[in-house]
Amino acid sequence: MSTPRISIVVPMYNEEENLPELHTRLAKALAGMDPEGEIVYVDDGSTDGTNQQLQTLLQEPQPVCVRAVALPRRRGKTAALSAGFAVARGSILVTTDADLQEPPEVLPMLVARVQSGEAHLVVAWRQQRQDSPFRVFASRVFNTVLRWLTDLPLHDVNCGTKAMKREVAESLAGWMFSDMHRYLPVLAARMGYRVVEVPVPHVVRRRGRSRFGASRYLRAVVDLFPISLMWWRGWAVWLALAAVSVVLQAMRSPLGAVGLAAIVWLGIAVAFWLRRNQT
């Protein structure tokens, strides 16, 4: 068996309704890029028929190599991606979500940017987002904060559709815990890799439902703390908050105690996530 040049890693949770169309379109896109390529599906502890469908795919003749990883319980997107990266064999790793909101047909465009040497990592930039107003607003705030913090001109860091060289994924392996998948482009850029974005269409989810819960926003904030300390602006913000809180505390203002308590809580939360996800 020849070694594939391209591996597409697809994390999924309860996506049995989308899997047939997803696989057909992914296989067609991959066959046009690398007939010897592979699709690596990672079932993140699904409770529906996703795993059974994957097993059926593995037993049927396919135009491209299909592999599957089944996690025994739900671990989250970062862990699912990490599991997929661990078994993927391609020199270029591509990730995309199973909801089909970013069309699989855009993947060759991202891969071409990596193959040309223009970038080590390419992230899709979703145009005309077809999500709830609150989710779109939260995404804009999140990306605005990251652009200010890092000076990187990226507009959609958390998009699940990406293409990267294997060496980038290997360098990021130590960061694959908690929900750090959303920060992979800025981490790669911090390591010195060239990161660019490519505008792609975004369509409405037609089957299944989004499982983006409120806890994800809390994790994003907690995970941002160690990320922010990689840039001087992050240090400036946290030191300024600590200094203001100390002054307010000295003035016997209740806001001082609240500020100090928030900083301590954030430190404890980060330590908790680090310990939980690295054990």
Q: What's the CATH code of the domain at 82?
A: 3.90.550.10
Q: Same structural domain for residues 169 and 52?
A: yes
Q: Same structural domain for residues 189 and 252?
A: no
Task: Say if CB 208 and CB 214 are below 8 A apart.
Answer: no
Q: pLDDT tens-digit profile of 126-173?
A: 999 888 898 899 899 999 999 999 999 999 999 999 999 999 999 999
Domain of residue 56, residue span? 6-213
Q: Is residue 218 part of a domain?
A: no
Q: Same structural domain for residues 166 and 83?
A: yes
In this prediction the pTM is 0.87
Q: Same structural domain for residues 206 and 240?
A: no
Q: Same structural domain for residues 110 and 238?
A: no
Q: How many domains does the chain have?
A: 2
Q: pLDDT tens-digit profile of 30-64?
A: 999 999 999 999 999 999 999 999 999 999 988 89
Q: Same structural domain for residues 164 and 254?
A: no
Q: Same structural domain for residues 207 and 241?
A: no
Task: Say if CB 181 and CB 123 are below 8 A apart.
Answer: no
Q: Same structural domain for residues 202 and 236?
A: no
Tell me the C-alpha distance between 235 and 148, whole Å.
Answer: 13
